[in-house]
Structure 1
Amino acid sequence: MLSAKSLFQEILDNDESFRLFCSIAASGETQGGWENARIAALVPPGERELAPRITRHGVDEDKHGRIFNALMKKRGLSPVEVPADTDYTMLLERQGIGLAHDKLKSDEPLSVQDIVTYLAHSRVTEQRASEQMDLLRKHFADHPDIGRAVKMISNDEDNHLAYCHEELLRFAHAGHGPAIHQTLRECALAEIRVYRDVSLAVMDHMGRILGWPKAKASVLAAGIHAVYAYERIAGWRRMVSLKMPERRDALGGPATAAPEFA
């Protein structure tokens, strides 16, 4: 019987599929770390108090990248080149979601609207990250090799999501509500398309590595399309709602250091 647990266990048990999984994850987290560092450096003068939280967000993402690389190193594996069709962050940028890298590479300060766009984009993508890590935590929190990493990253992603909710609500109260609503909706609808495409691509690559029969690959692809259909009709709405989180000022303190995994 196919299940999320059995599927990931199969990926985990094979060196090549595990290496691809960790390489994709590490690349995305490292990219997120760079983006947040640049945004923190370019925060407009009136929002400088937000810079330490954005920096903390980036530090966490960099830490996650190091953790995934350490998990590979622990098994004597080295990273592989990430296939372009599995590059979630790059594909989102191509859809015009988030802040363009050309803008982040310049030295021009960002606008308040840029910060709102960044937070809305993060609120959507951190929802996905939080849900994915929560699923892994549910099934693999006690795993001897990856359990500690899964718990740490899951906790961080929950903090990131709480931070996005709190900051977006602050901006909404300051009069940016309509812009936030529109940006969240655009980001969510684009994200679910990209997530579908990346999921199909990842499963295709994993299927070739693990030698999945055509029937199994077809069932998995059908499941991915079914999730997208649900998200396109109604599921995307969970990504655009805002509520004050239980974790207040979730990124207000120092980042937690990554334990030695390798």
Structure 2
Amino acid sequence: MLTARSLFQEILDDDESYRLFCSIAAGGEAQGGWENGRIAALVPDSQRALAPKIARHGADEDKHGRIFRALMHRRGIEPVEVPPETDYTMILERRGIGLPHAVLRAEEPLTERDIVAYLAHSRVTEQRASEQMDMLTQHFGDHPEVGRAVRMICHDEANHLAYCHEELLRLAAAGHGRTIQALLRESALGEIDVYRDVSLAVMAHMGRILRWPRAKAAALTAGIHAVHAYERLGGWRRMVSLRMPERRDALGGPVTTAAEFA
């Protein structure tokens, strides 16, 4: 039976597919770390209190990248170049979701609206990341090779999502509510298209590596399109709601280390 667990187990068991999976994940996390680091450096004076939390977010993403690279090192495999059609973070940036890299490379302070846009984009993408890590933790949280990494990253992603909820609610109370809702909707509708396209590209590469039969590849493709259809019809709404999280000040402390994965 074709399930999320059996699919990931198949990817995990093969060195080439595992290398591609970890390389894609490591690249995306490293990119997220750079973006958050630049945003933290460019926060406007009106939001300076956010800078340490944004920096903590970036440090977590950098740590996740190191974890995925360490997982490859443990198995004795080297990272592979990430196919551009599977680069989720860069495709989001090219489609105008999040802050442009040209802005982040400059030395001009960001505006308060830029910070609102960053948090709205993060609230959407962290929803996706948190759901994916919850799924992996459910199926592989006790796995001897990847279980510890999966649990640590899952915990961090839940913190990131909680932080986005709390800070967006604070900014909504300060008068940014309409802007936040518009940006959340725009980001969510754009992200679900990117997620579909990247999922199809990743599955195509995995199918070639693992030599999936045509029927299996077709079933996975149909499943990806079905998820996208559900999200277009209304599933995207889960990405735009805001509620005060149980984890308050989730990024207020020091970053946990990844030394155990070195």
The match for 2:61 is 61
Q: Which amino acid aligns with 1:121?
A: H
TM alignment of 1:58-137, pairs within 5 A: 58-137=58-137
Provide the rounded CA distance (Å) in 2 between the counterparts of 1:238 and 1:5: 24
Secondary structure (helix, strand or coil) at the match of 1:253 reads coil
Match of 1:246 in 2: 246
Q: Which amino acid is the alignment partner of residue 182 of structure 1?
A: A
Cα separation, 2, equivalents of 1:205 and 1:149? 24
1:1-262 equivalences under 5 Å are 1-262=1-262
User: Which letter maps to 2:202?
Assistant: V
Determine the C-alpha separation between the residues in 1 that align with 2:127 and 2:216: 28
Query: How does the TM-score come out when normalised to structure 1?
Result: 0.99
Equivalent residue letter for 1:103: V
Deviation at 1:46, TM superposition (A): 1.2
Partner SS, residue 261 of structure 2? coil
For structure 1, the residue ranges without an aligned partner over 5 or more in a row are: none
Tell me how far apart the structure 2 counterparts of residues 259 and 147 of structure 1 sit (CA, whole Å).
16
Partners of 1:146 and 1:233 lie apart in 2 by 35
User: Displacement, 1:63?
Assistant: 0.0
Determine helix, strand or coil for the equivalent of 1:2: coil
Distance in 1 of aligned mates of 2:261 and 2:156 = 17
Q: Distance in 2 between matches of 1:46 and 1:200?
A: 42
Q: State the 1:135 CA deviation.
A: 0.2
Q: For 1:125-145, what per-residue CA distance to the aligned partner results, in whole angstroms no more than 9, with x for missing partners? A: 000000000000000010000
Which one-letter code corresponds to 1:227 in the other structure? Answer: V
Q: Show structure 2 runs of 5+ residues with no match.
A: none
Distance 1:127 1:83 in 2: 24
Q: Count matched residues.
A: 262
Partner deviation per Cα, 1:203-230 (whole Å, 9 max, x = no partner): 0000000000000000000000000000
Q: TM-score, normalised by structure 2?
A: 0.99
- 2:108 is paired with a residue whose SS is coil
Letter in 1 for 2:35: E
> What's the CA shift for 1:261?
1.9
Q: What do the CA deviations read for 1:166-186 (whole angstroms, capped 9, x no partner)?
A: 000000000000000000000
Instruction: Give the distance between the partners of 1:44 and 1:63, measured in 2 at CA.
Output: 26
Amino acid at match of 1:197: D
CA shift digits 1:47-96 (9 cap, x unpaired): 11100000000000000000000000000000000001000001101110
CA distance in 2, matches of 1:148, 1:259: 12
2: CA distance, partners of 1:212 / 1:142: 27
